Structure 1
Amino acid sequence: MIPGRTVDLRSGASSVRVRAPGKINVALRVGPLREDGYHGLASVFLAVSLFEEVTATATPGEAISVSVNGQGMLNLPAESIPLDSTNLAVRAAGLLADLSPGRSGVHLDITKRVPIAGGMGGGSADAAAALLACDALWGSGFSRDELARIAVDLGADVPFALLGGTAVGLGVGDRLTSAISKTPLHFVLVISEYGLSTPEVYRTLDEIRLRNGTEVDPQPAIDPAVLGHMRAGDAAALAPLLHNDLQEAALELAPGLRDILGTGSDAGALAGIVSGSGPTIAFLTRSSGHAAQLQSLLEAEGLHARSVHGPAHGARLAPESAG
C-alpha cells in the first residue's frame, strides 16, 4: 500500500491539463485462462501519436465528476462513454483521492481522440492522464513510479500510458520493462464504426482454443527479434513478426476486419494487425511518406484511416499546467 501524502495547494493551480497516448500491441501472446479468471500475457507495447486529453479542475467539496467530448477521429459518439463511477478516469481519481488527505473535489473533462473500445487503450490513457492531472492539481507529490503502482489496480494498459515509449509487459501485462526504441515506426490506423468488448474477445479466444484443442504455453514469451528490429527502426524486418493472439477471436466476432486486412495488404502495407482486442487495425509502413500514401489509398476505399508514429511520450502535463 502506498502511504497517503499531505496535499499542498500552494501553487494555486485550479486547472491542470494532461495528454496521454494510445497504444498498439506490436506483439501480443496470450496464455490459457487461469483459475483467477485472468490470462497470462506477453506483450510489446508501443505508444503512438494519438493522444487523449484530460483537464482536471478543482471543485468545492470532494465530489469527482466527469464530462466527455469527442474531437477528430472517433468511431463512436462520446455519449457512449459512462459518466459515473464506472468511468476509468473517475476510478483513477478516486484511488488517488483516497491517498491524498485534504484534497479538493475535481471535475475531469476528457477530450477523446483514441477510438472507443478500439483495442488502443483509450480509456486507460484517460485514467493515466487523470492520475497525473489530479496529482499535480492536489500537490499529492507522488512519483511517476508510485502513480504506476496505483494504476495497476485499473488494468494493465494504465501503467503503460503513464510510461509511454516502448515496453514489454508480462504477468497480466502489468509487469512493465522499458525497451530502447528511438527510431520512429510509422503506422496507418483503420478505425471501425463500432467497438469490441475486450472480455468478449478473450472469451471467444478461449472458445476457439477449446474447439480446436489448441495447447497454449502457460508462460507466453516474446521473440527478442521483435525488440531488436524496433530498436533498429527496421520496419521491413519487423513486419513478419507482428503477431496478436487475440486477432483470430476479433475476426470471428467481426468478420469484416478480414477484408480490411486484405485491402491494406493490396494497397502496399508491409503488414497489418488487429490492435489489442480490436477492432482497430494497424498497418505498418516503411516511412512517413509511405504512411501518407497508404492513408490516401485506404480513404479512397471508404475507410476511416489515420497516420500515426511511435514511440510517443507517456502522460505529460501540458506546458501551461507545468507551473
Structure 2
Amino acid sequence: MSPFALGGARARVPAKINLHLGVGPLRDDGYHELSTVFCAISLFDEVTVRSADHLRITVNGDSARQVPADPTNLAAQAVMLVAEYLERQDANAEIEIDKQIPVAGGMAGGSADAAGGLLAASRLWRGDLSRDELLSLAAALGSDVPFSVLGGTALGTGRGEKLLPVLNRCELSWVIAVAKTGLSTPDVYRELDRLRAERDEIVPPPGRPDALLRALAAGDVTALAPLLHNDLQPAALSLQPMLRRTLRAGTEAGALAGIVSGSGPSCVFLCADPDAAVSVAAELSGSGVARSVKTAFGPVAGARLVTP
C-alpha cells in the first residue's frame, strides 16, 4: 500500500562524496575546522513517516541490521526535533527507512536519513518548513545533515554545516566500492589527530580548494581528477590497510582517480563517462576487494518529497 494512503509522507535523500576534504586543527568545541566540497550522487535512501500511536522504526535494505531501530536513530531524532519545533504534544510516528547508502561508509547515510526525517515529518504534520528552517534544524542534528537537505555541489566550512552552493558544469560518473567492514567517523578523526601528533605536525586552518572549484566551473573532468583530495584518507588507511588494495584496483581498472570517501571506508572512483564507470565496476566486482560495487552519477538534488 502507498504510504500516502496511510497518511504518510516520503522523502528521497542522496549520498554524498567529498571531492575535497581539508581538515584543520581541533577546535575548542571538539570538532575540527573543515574546508570541504560536497557532491550529492544518485545513491538514495528513502524515509517514510506515518502517523502512529507510538514511535516505531523499521529499516530495510543494505546493511539494515547495522542501523539502530530505536530513538538514537538519526531519522527518529529528526522527527522528534520537528515535533518539538512545531510545538506538538507528541512525536509519535512510524518511521520506515529503505537504505541504499552504505552504513558507516563515509557517504553520509545517517545524515541523509536525518534530512529525510526532517522533510517527511514537516510534510506529515503540515509544518511547511522553509528551506532555511530545515537547514537550521539540520545543523543541530549533525555536520553533514544540512548538505543532505541542500544537495547539488557545495563548499562546506566550519564543521561542514556552513554551505555555499558551487557552480558545477561537470557530469560526474562514479564507481563506489563498499568496504566489507565499516569505520566510525570519530575513530577516524582520532586516528588523524594521533598521526599528526606522532609527526609533531603543525596544522594550519584548511584552505579553499580554488583549483578544484575552477575545474568544476569549467566542466573539466580530466582536470578535476588529480585534484580530488581527502585529509582523512591516511587515517582511514591506517585503520583499514586493505583499502590501499581497493584504491589500486580501481585505478588499474581504468578510473581517472580514486579516493576514500569522507571518513571511509567506501572508496570512490571518478570515471571519464558512464560507460567507463560500468567497465571499472565490472572489473572491481570480480577483484574481491569490496563487499559490493555500485555506479552513480552526480550532482543530484538534495532531500525531496516523493509524490504519488
TM-score range, shorter chain: over 0.9
Q: Per-residue deviation at 1:182?
A: 4.0
Q: Mean Cα displacement is larger for which, 290-299 or 101-110?
A: 101-110
- One-letter amino acid of the structure 2 residue matched with residue 308 of structure 1: A
Question: Which of the numbers 159, 177, 187 marks the counterpart of 2:146?
Answer: 159
Equivalent in the alignment of 2:121: 134
Distance 2:180 2:5 in 1: 42
Counting matched residue pairs gives 302
Equivalent in the alignment of 1:256: 242
SS in 1 for 2:81: helix
Equivalent in the alignment of 2:202: 215
Equivalent in the alignment of 1:65: 56
Correspondence list, 1:1-323, <5 A: 14-60=7-53, 63-70=54-61, 74=62, 77-102=63-88, 105-217=92-204, 219-302=205-288, 303=290, 304-320=292-308
Q: Mean Cα displacement is larger for which, 301-310 or 23-32?
A: 301-310
Q: Per-residue deviation at 1:12?
A: 9.4
Q: Per-residue deviation at 1:65?
A: 2.4
SS in 1 for 2:93: strand
Q: Mean Cα displacement is larger for which, 252-261 or 178-187?
A: 178-187
Native 8 Å contact 2:170 2:221 kept in 1 = no
Native 8 Å contact 1:104 1:138 kept in 2 = no
TM-score by length of 2: 0.95
Distance 1:23 1:117 in 2: 13
Native 8 Å contact 1:13 1:137 kept in 2 = no
1:265-309 CA-to-partner distances (Å, cap 9, x unmatched) read 111111100000000000011111111111111112134211111
Q: Per-residue deviation at 1:183?
A: 3.2
The verdict on how the C-alpha distance between 1:115 and 1:12 changes in structure 2, with shifts beyond 3 A counting, is: closer
* Structure 1: gaps of 5 or more residues: 1-10
Native 8 Å contact 1:188 1:282 kept in 2 = yes
Q: Per-residue deviation at 1:13?
A: 7.3
The percent identity for this pair of structures is 47
* Structure 2: gaps of 5 or more residues: none
Equivalent in the alignment of 1:3: none
- One-letter amino acid of the structure 1 residue matched with residue 83 of structure 2: A
SS in 1 for 2:244: helix
Distance 1:276 1:42 in 2: 12
TM-score by length of 1: 0.90
Distance 2:29 2:86 in 1: 31
Distance 2:246 2:5 in 1: 50
Q: Per-residue deviation at 1:222?
A: 2.4
Q: Mean Cα displacement is larger for which, 102-111 or 34-43?
A: 102-111
Distance 2:169 2:80 in 1: 35
